[in-house]
């Protein structure tokens, strides 16, 4: 995070951030670097502590020796900040399923507060496989870790990583179970795509630019395409990915949330409740794909080599998924919303392409680039200089990098931690949104579980357009 962003932000309440899964991939790649940057920007209160829960004997030294804290292999992290983060970290060994260990954890947190001489907000960050989520939440609840600190002056909050369940039924169960121990105001369901800076700009852009605000509907827009293409494959997450696949991993959450932000009505106020209200309405208006439409409106593919990677010759788990969705409201009547994602493709690119006018005739496009090269471009038609009346497509390009030069932006995970510590739910998914999103994809999830009908294979590094020329 750049210094000028930091300067304008207040220091967070003193907290203890308890990370379940500290030795896991996400904690090491995203969470600890995010804490490093927050610490570097002096946004964490000096009494803040990090408790790293692990089942093994891992020391803080061992943990940090494997992490590139500043996320840049070409630079060394600031030793003074590294010293501070190491000083704040306490590794804590326990079994995540053994009830008595949670009693001891509670005592340990009480002891840390005594040591710090103050009550700390408790943030439990669950960066763990989905199957242990239920047992951990239950144990936290049953052993009193969901309550405020011993002096009752601070709050306990749960930060949960997706996926929230693996289908509609399991999501309902998980929500019910979590709700038994933690109030909705204590739960922060992370969807880091919502915390990306450019995602937050979508609504602002729509509502503060009258030229677009006035034409944000089916009379002017013929199609919307939301794409998350990745170059990386499954990166060793074989067990996780075999249970998940592209539809559950990215479409059900990240892409449906982006769709909702693009298509929802502007909220009555720019606050969490008003935003979630319009988003919920929109998600409920997306028409679930009917079983008889699946062949036509849901496409899937798998990259070559995936089966060997997961050690399963007959795996038909998709690494690419695409849905053609419709929204049942007057604003979006007959406008197809294509959402698609794939791994091992030619490029890393997340963007939202809004097509104005007939895509097959003269038309304009608005391209909201979420990452990389964050920005927005508008594709227009212009007369090519010369004696002939020749039309040429030209691009007006707004790039964050050029326009906000000294004003870089916090990483999504820094934002997630800051907002959860402040208790701001705007950029997190509510339980109703999670359920509405599962409802949209449920028939496809169920159909794709049964067999590999229609699954095609693509070579790693394939261009998305080439892949789709085969599938669609």
For the residues of 296-352, what is the DSSP string, one character each?
HHEEEEEETTHHHHHT-TT----SEEEEEE-B-SGGGTT--EEEEEESSBS--EEEE
User: Angle at which helices 99-116 and 130-142 pack, to 10 degrees?
Assistant: 70
Give the nearest distance from C-beta 230 to ligand BG6 in angstroms: 6
Give the nearest distance from C-beta 154 to ligand BG6 in angstroms: 30
Give the nearest distance from C-beta 250 to ligand BG6 in angstroms: 6
- Coil, helix or strand at residue 267: coil
- Pairing verdict, β 391-399 and 121-126: unpaired
Query: Nearer Cβ to ligand BG6, position 16 or 133?
Result: 133
Q: Where on the chain is the footprint of ligand BG6 (CB under 6 A)? A: 192, 230, 249-250, 350
Active site residue 254: yes
Residue found by looking up tokens 């994602």 in the block: 341
For the residues of 78-122, what is the DSSP string, one character each?
-HHHHHHHHHHEEEEE--SS-HHHHHHHHHHHHHHHHHHTS--EE
Query: Nearer Cβ to ligand BG6, position 49 or 228?
Result: 228
Q: Which residue has the closest beta carbon to ligand BG6?
A: 249
Percent helix, strand and coil across the chain, each to the nearest 5: 40, 20, 35
Contact between residue 228 and residue 300 where contact means Cβ atoms under 8 Å apart: no
- Tokens standing for 454? 């229609």
Contact between residue 289 and residue 326 where contact means Cβ atoms under 8 Å apart: no
Query: Nearer Cβ to ligand BG6, position 149 or 174?
Result: 174
Give the nearest distance from C-beta 338 to ligand BG6 in angstroms: 18
Cα–Cα distance measured from residue 27 to residue 161, given in angstroms and rounded to the nearest whole number: 11
Query: Nearer Cβ to ligand BG6, position 250 or 286?
Result: 250
Query: Nearer Cβ to ligand BG6, position 206 or 248?
Result: 248
Query: Nearer Cβ to ligand BG6, position 122 or 415?
Result: 415
Give the nearest distance from C-beta 124 to ligand BG6 in angstroms: 19
- Tokens standing for 164? 């929230």
Cα–Cα distance measured from residue 41 to residue 12, given in angstroms and rounded to the nearest whole number: 11
- Tokens standing for 242? 């075999």
Which are the catalytic amino acids? 254
């Amino acid at each position: 995070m750049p210094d000028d962003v930091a300067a304008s932000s207040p220091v967070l309440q003193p907290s203890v951030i308890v990370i379940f899964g500290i030795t896991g991939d996400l904690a090491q790649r995203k969470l600890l670097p995010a804490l490093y940057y927050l610490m570097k920007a002096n946004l964490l209160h000096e009494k803040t502590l990090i408790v790293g829960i692990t089942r093994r004997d891992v020391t803080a030294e061992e943990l940090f020796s494997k992490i590139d804290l500043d996320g840049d292999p070409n630079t060394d992290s600031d030793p003074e900040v590294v010293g501070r983060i190491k000083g704040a970290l306490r590794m804590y060994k326990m079994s995540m399923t053994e009830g008595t260990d949670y009693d001891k954890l509670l005592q340990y947190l009480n002891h840390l507060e005594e040591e710090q001489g103050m009550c700390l907000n408790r943030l439990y960050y669950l960066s763990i496989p989905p199957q242990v989520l239920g047992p951990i939440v239950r144990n936290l609840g049953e052993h009193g870790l969901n309550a405020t600190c011993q002096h009752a002056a601070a709050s306990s909050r749960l930060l949960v990583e997706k996926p929230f369940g693996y289908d509609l039924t399991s999501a309902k169960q998980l929500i019910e179970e979590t709700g038994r121990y933690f109030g909705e105001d204590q739960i922060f369901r992370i969807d880091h795509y919502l915390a990306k800076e450019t995602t937050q700009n979508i609504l602002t852009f729509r509502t503060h630019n009258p030229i677009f605000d006035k034409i944000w509907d089916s009379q002017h827009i013929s199609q919307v395409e939301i794409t998350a293409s990745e170059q990386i494959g499954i990166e060793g997450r074989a067990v996780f990915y075999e249970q998940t696949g592209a539809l559950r991993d990215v479409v059900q959450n990240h892409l449906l949330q982006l769709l909702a932000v693009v298509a929802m009505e502007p909220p009555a106020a720019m606050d969490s409740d008003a935003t979630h209200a319009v988003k919920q309405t929109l998600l409920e208006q997306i028409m679930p794909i009917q079983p008889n439409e699946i062949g036509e409106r849901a496409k899937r593919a798998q990259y070559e080599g995936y089966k060997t990677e997961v050690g399963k010759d007959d795996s038909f788990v998709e690494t690419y998924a695409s849905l053609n969705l419709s929204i049942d409201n007057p604003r979006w009547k007959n406008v197809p919303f294509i959402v698609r994602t794939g791994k091992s493709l030619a490029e890393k690119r997340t963007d939202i392409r809004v097509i104005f006018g007939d895509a097959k005739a003269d038309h304009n496009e608005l391209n909201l680039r979420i990452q990389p090269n964050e920005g927005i471009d508008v594709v227009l038609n212009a007369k090519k200089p010369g004696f002939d009346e020749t039309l040429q497509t030209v691009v007006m390009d707004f790039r964050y990098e050029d326009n906000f030069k000294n004003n870089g932006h916090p990483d999504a995970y820094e934002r997630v931690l800051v907002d959860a510590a402040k208790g701001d739910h705007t950029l997190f998914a509510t339980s109703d949104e999670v359920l509405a999103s599962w409802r949209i994809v449920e028939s496809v999830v169920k159909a794709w579980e049964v067999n590999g009908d229609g699954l095609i294979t693509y070579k790693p590094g394939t261009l998305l357009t080439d892949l789709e020329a085969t599938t669609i």
